[in-house]
Every structure is written in structure tokens, then in C-alpha cells.
Amino acid sequence: MTRRLAIVITAVVVCTLVLAGFGTLAVGNLRARHTTKVEISRQASEVAGNLAGIVDAADTTNTRTLLNRTLRSLNLFRKALNVDGLAVLTSLNRGLQNRGLQGAEQLPPQLDISMFSEARLRDGKVISGNRGKLVYAAAGTVLPNGRLIVVVLSRNADVALPAAWGTFLVASLITLALGVVAAILLGRRLSRPIREASAATIRIAHGELSTRLPEPSAADHDELAQLARSVNVMAVELDRARVLEQQFLLSVSHDLRTPLTSIRGYAEAIGDGAADPQRSAAIIRSEARRLERLVADLLDLAKLRAKGFSLRMEPLDLVALAAVAGQGFEPDALERNVAIRFAGTGALFVSADHDRLTQVTANLIENSLKYARTEVMISVVRDGGWAVLSVDDDGPGIAPADLPHVFDRLYVARSQPVRQESSSGLGLAIVKELVEAMGGSVGASQAPIGGARLAVRLPAG
């Protein structure tokens, strides 16, 4: 990247210098031609006027001699006029012609006598222009006898820059060198964070999830700073996901191993005749149902993640559904010495899938029973356009750091259930997926009775 950036910046500098050099030269030439045209036009008018004052109108030998002398003097002072060419034309009845007067220069090859209009010159107009680099100006003066004398001055207006060109070349080389150095430094500064980010992502991909890039300052908001922050956030989330996955595997392994151990133990006891078949069969059935529920949760989570489930939406009374769900857990609550209370009156309808909403309510109540010490409170209220189902417990509550992640897949909170029951972290993740599929949202907070509150919001109506 550094080499490519240096090449690009160097090319830009070179192109800029070339354009600047030729552009300056072109503008200088145009300006020089304009300035020269104005200057020699003024000089031609002055010279023509002086000739009118010197030359007598009579066409005598003395007059011609005086004219020739004057022209020789003008030719001697051509350099003082700062012109490259000086010619004097005079008119006869046949019009303008180069008289070839003694001491007068011929017209330059680029100019032709037909370029000068006698009528305009007699009217006092100055005829000026350029032929390439040669700038010319012609001014006439009319003698008392009617003869027209025309002075033609010419000058090469090309901008000659031998010394300036050398200075420009030196300045260009210095500028080019500075551009190359700046490109290399800038390329290294830009590519170094990218190389570091690339190396960090490779290490993260190889399992080094503790890899972090230097954290940019809070004042840095450019793309490189955002890239560093994004890589760090990715590493943190991947590290957290790995920890959650490990917790999940340990929890699921425990949940699978515990009932399997009971089933195998009682099956062996029945085979040895050392256990009551009826009691053993009841325990085996109970543990089998536990396994069946865990497998069903795993399948549900897989379907939810793959969006491979369907919903049959219908109007449901959330108050009645929550009350029935709470009653279904009363036997389990009695065994735990936990009271289930319900708060909700009237009817509050939502559009939802009956079986899925029942599953959501059951998962919330079951989770609260694991942590409750003496009480679980189920409430249904209306909050604006939302129907809110809340399940509170008086357990240890949820740590502030855990609150944003309670409903995440595979998440297991730091606080353990009061009765040391295993938790795979699937139930609440299933709740979140189902509720969001039905157009609602979930949340966790501290409960007024001292523990945790898990709440579900669904559109009311």
C-alpha cells in the first residue's frame, strides 16, 4: 500500500508541476504579447507623429535628404525603442509601398504590406496584431501635401525563460522529493494500523481471542480509529461467545448426564431386583420427560435461529392466558414452598400464536421459580399501545452487568438458582426469539419485590 500510495502521490505532483509550468508559460506568453502590442502601438504613434513634425511637406531634395537622415537616426535608436524591427512605408498615388528608404529595415518575413489598410491609417488608427510570436503595430501620419508616412514596429514577444526555467526545474525537483517523502510517511502511517488490524484478525481467527489493538483516543473518529474499535469489539464479542458456548456445553452436558445417570441407575436396579419397579419406573419416566424437554428446547432454538418455524396469529386474551399458565405451575410451586400470585383484571387482547405465547409465559414462570425464595408475581398491564406481561421473583436478582444479556442465546447469569438447579440458558433465548417474531420485545430489570423482573411487551389490540 505504501508503494502504491507513493506512486500515486508522485504522479499527482509531477502532473501538477507540468500543468503549472506549461500553464504559467502560456499565460506569460499571452500577457507578454498583449503588453508588447500596447507598448509598440504607443511607440509607433509617437514615432509617426515626430516624423510629421520633422519632415516638410515639400517634395524637395533637401526634404528627402532630411527624411533619409531622420530614418537613419531612427534606425540607430531602434534598440533604444526596444523593438526588433522598424520599417517606414510611404504612400504614392498607387497606395502604400515599401520605398526601401536609405537606412530603413524591410518588413519582417511574417508581415505583408497588404495587411495595412491605408484608409484606416489615414484616419489615425493604429493597426496592430501578431503573427505567432511576432507582435507588430503600424501608425501613420499625413503630411501637408497629402502623402502618408507609416511607421511599422515589430517585436518578438515570446517569453524567454532560461534562468527562470532553471529555477523552476530546481523548485520542481525539490517539490517532487518532498512529495515522495510525504507519500512514504503518509503511506506508512496509514498502512501500519491496517497491517496491525490484519494481523490481529488473523490471530483472532486462529483462536487468540485475547488479542486487542491499541485503543484510539476518544477524540479520534477517523476510519482507522473506527477500524481499531470494531476489531476490538469483535474480539470481545467472540471471546464472550466462546465463554458462553463453554458454559452452554457444560450446562447441557450436565443436564443430559444427570437424567441419564438416574435412568441407567434405576434400570440396573430393576434388573438386579434391588429397587421397587413402580417407583423406579416413575423416576425413569420423570427423567425421560426432562430429557425430552431439553431436546425440545435445543430443537426449538435451532429452528428459531434458522427461522424455520411458523406462527398462527389470532386474537388472544393475555390476562386469561397468563392466569392459566400460572395455575399450571402451582403444584411445582407448592413443592418449592413458593407462592404464585397473579395481578390482572378484565381482558387485554393481543395478536399472537396461542401455543407460542403459552410457551413464552411458561418459560418466564419456570425461570422465576428457579430463583424465587418465597414468591413469584405474574402481572398483566396495558402501557399505551402495548400489553406488558411481567414475571417477578424475590430471589437474588440480576447483576447490572447481566441485565443486557439475560435473553441472549446460551447465556447463564452469574447468580445461581436458589436450589442449585442446572440452567442451559435456552429458555429465555427462546422467549426472545418468539416474542420478537410476534412483533414484541423483551426486557429484564430489578423487581419491586426484591428479585428480578422479566417482562414481555406485545402490541395491544
- The answer to whether residues 138 and 150 touch, using CB atoms and an 8 Å cutoff, is yes
- For the segment 175-201, the average pLDDT, to the nearest whole number, is 79
Q: Tell me the average pLDDT of the chain.
A: 77
Q: How many domains does the chain have?
A: 3
CATH code where residue 99 lies: 3.30.450.160
- The answer to whether residues 179 and 10 touch, using CB atoms and an 8 Å cutoff, is yes
How far apart CA 40 and CA 35 sit, in angstroms, is 9
310-355 pLDDT, tens digit per residue, is 788 999 999 999 999 898 888 888 888 999 999 988 899 999 988 8
155 and 297 in a single domain? The answer is no
Confidence category of residue 426, pLDDT binned at 50, 70, 90: confident
Lowest mean pLDDT segment, chosen from 260-264, 360-364, 451-455 = 260-264
How far apart CA 278 and CA 264 sit, in angstroms, is 15
For the ranges 6-10, 40-44, 92-96, the maximum mean pLDDT occurs at 40-44
Residue 417's pLDDT is 45
Residue 248's pLDDT is 65
Please write down the long-range contacts of 13-19, taking CB distance under 8 Å and 24 or more positions apart. 13/175, 13/176, 13/179, 13/180, 14/176, 17/172, 17/175, 17/176
CATH code where residue 316 lies: 3.30.565.10
284 and 326 in a single domain? The answer is no
281 and 342 in a single domain? The answer is no
217 and 252 in a single domain? The answer is yes
CATH code where residue 262 lies: 1.10.287.130
Pairing of strands 452-459, 134-142: unpaired
88-144 pLDDT, tens digit per residue, is 777 654 444 444 333 344 577 788 777 878 778 878 888 888 887 888 888 888 777
- For the segment 376-391, the average pLDDT, to the nearest whole number, is 93
Higher pLDDT, 304 or 341: 341
- What letter represents residue 432's amino acid? K
Task: Evaluate whether residue 382 is within a structural domain.
Answer: yes
Residue 80's pLDDT is 58
316 and 305 in a single domain? The answer is no
Cα within 13 Å of Cα(286), Cβ side = 10
Residue 56's pLDDT is 47
- In sequence order, the 6+-apart residues with CB closer than 8 A to the CB of 445 are 398, 403, 452, 453, 455
What are the grid coordinates assigned to 256, written together? 443430559
Task: Evaluate whether residue 94 is within a structural domain.
Answer: yes
pLDDT at 412 over 70: no
For the ranges 69-73, 150-154, 155-159, 286-290, the maximum mean pLDDT occurs at 150-154
213 and 155 in a single domain? The answer is no
For the ranges 42-56, 216-230, 442-456, the maximum mean pLDDT occurs at 442-456
232 and 316 in a single domain? The answer is no
Higher pLDDT, 24 or 138: 138
Residue 301's pLDDT is 67
301 and 235 in a single domain? The answer is yes
Range of the domain at 303: 209-309
